Amino acid sequence: MGRFLVTGITFGVFMAEALIHYNMGRMKEETADGKQPKFQLPPPKELAKIAAVTGTFSVVSGVLIGALNNRLPKT
């Protein structure tokens, strides 16, 4: 249960960060063009790519945290 919780929380935080970074890049371009920037989700294909990368690293993070937790001495 713990590993899935860590993976899910990590995915949520990493995905939020990825969407913020996506919009930071977009807003910089829009501001340079004189447009009013606003927060948007990326197009579906781009969102799927972002979710796939984020999901992969979330799973890796969950596995590593679980493995490290099992190897550390219990207090």
Task: Give per-residue pLDDT as tens, 9-55.
Answer: 999 999 999 999 999 988 887 787 787 878 899 999 999 999 999 99
**33 or 59: which leads in pLDDT:** 59
Cα 31 to Cα 47: distance, rounded to the nearest angstrom: 22
Q: Which residues, 6+ apart, have CB-to-CB distance to 11 below 8 Å?
A: 54, 55, 58
Q: What per-residue confidence (pLDDT) applies to 35?
A: 79
pLDDT at 1 over 60: no
What does pTM read for this prediction? 0.79
